[in-house]
Structure 1
Amino acid sequence: MTPTPGDNEIRVVIADDQTHVRDGLAMMVDAEPDMTVVATVANGVEAVAVTHRDRPDVVLMDIRMPGMDGIEATRRITDHQHDHNHDGNHNHNHDHLTTVLVLTTFDHDDALYGALRAGASGYMLKHAAPTDLVRAVRRIANGGSWIDPNVAGKVIDTLRATLPLDHRGRPSLDNLSPREVEVLRLMGDGPSNTELATRLFVSEATVKTHISRLLMKTGSRDRAQLVAVAYRSGLVRP
């Protein structure tokens, strides 16, 4: 089932401790012509191991799993990639980094906050429509982000209440250039780098440079946190 290098398929790993959920998700993903499931696993430890080994494009990650939960697994996956990106080895294509789409019943606000803080690129309810699931997978595989529309308002409230603030106690955009503020505003609805480049009439390389600087200047870990900063600062409104 492992695709050869150069394939354009979105390679997906599914992590969930319930067999019927794994099987159902795998059927939905494999039914798409541009997606393939490379592995299904039952816990966070296995999710981390298979991700490091196979370098999929997207991991569909359950939160509640025995042993290592989905939040810790997400953290280890993204930490590994951050460390790899900063160790001087730049041979891998940055656009091919594994992204994580968390799937949950949204029982607790801690689940949302923990997932985004751990570096997840998307947050989706398990009972979402299959069409939304595949749209979310495609979006985050292409560098965008996704927050389930059914809980968007609650997501914003949670982020406002719990996201860490900067050293002055509030999100500040004072040190951003006008162009960086524009990029941050456009990131509010989770576009991919390609979509941002089209809207800004610049190359994707330039978009990546803006985002990299935004991450550094705002102290954000990932794109999902940049979206949170955009909302918390009032730059973008629900």
Structure 2
Amino acid sequence: MDSDIHTRVVVCDRHPYARLGIRGALRRDPAIEVVGEAADIVELISVAEARDPDVVVLEAQAQHLDKLTHVDAAVVVVVADAESAGDWIRFTQANIRAVVHGDDPEDELVEAVRRAANGSGYISPGLSGELMRLVRTTLPRPLRPVPTHTPLTSREAEVLQLVRRGLANKEIARRLGLSEKTVKFHVSNVLAKAHMASRAQLIASAASA
């Protein structure tokens, strides 16, 4: 990775010493910069708004998962076992880009952050075998059209498809060559036309009945 390119990271974990350990692990790559910390997802929302991270490294907390949709960054989840990792993968409302095990070597976490930052996914080798079995039982179903009273423009349709795949506004902007402000404008228009209140509803509507 080019040393001039910095990936901005916020660390979210309820334990201060765990956050310290994650900071230490990420120092292995000089192109990764930890710009903030949070103790839970509620605090993470305000920290992410203030620090504008590219990636969030998150302890697999069970509370307030619905609020994670308000964090506009790729998410790397640190889990305790393959079963909990499967639960996170099924949680499609979140911008999950990578999953690592809490006992994995530090290099795995660094690699997960790198992959999440460039838009690709990552599952640490220690989890991959069991997760393949879990994922085979929860394969995504075809996307169902979003019912609207006013037709979507071609750009709104492009943005909608990327939202329903779990991409954050920042990543959608990069892929479509738009500003984040423009992407937010299109998302707002889609929500209004679909009479929906949140991105989570758009994503949930993607599954066939």
Percent identity over the alignment is: 27
Is 1:111 matched with 2:88?
yes
Q: What is the CA distance between 1:163 and its match in structure 2?
A: 4.0
> What is aligned with 1:176?
none
AA aligned opposite 2:102: K
Q: Distance in 1 between matches of 2:140 and 2:131?
A: 15
Q: Distance in 1 between matches of 2:143 and 2:51?
A: 39
Give the superposed CA RMSD: 2.8
Q: Structure 2: 5+ residue runs without aligned partners?
A: 145-156, 169-209
Q: What is the CA distance between 1:157 and its match in structure 2?
A: 2.4
Q: Distance in 2 between matches of 1:101 and 1:155?
A: 16
1:108-159 deviations in whole A, cap 9, x for unaligned? 3423422x54221111111111111111111111121111222213222222
TM-score by length of 2: 0.62
Q: Distance in 2 between matches of 1:36 and 1:167?
A: 37
> What is aligned with 2:185?
none
TM-score by length of 1: 0.55
Is 1:216 matched with 2:150?
no
AA aligned opposite 1:136: A
AA aligned opposite 1:220: R
AA aligned opposite 2:110: V
Q: Distance in 2 between matches of 1:49 and 1:19?
A: 18
Q: Structure 1: 5+ residue runs without aligned partners?
A: 1-6, 82-97, 169-211, 224-238
> What is aligned with 1:14?
11
Higher relative CO (Cα under 8 Å, sequence separation at least 6) belongs to: 2
Contact map agreement 2:9 2:54 (CA 8 A) in 1: yes
Contact map agreement 1:113 1:163 (CA 8 A) in 2: no
> What is aligned with 2:55?
58
Q: What is the CA distance between 1:75 and its match in structure 2?
A: 2.3
Is 1:72 matched with 2:66?
yes
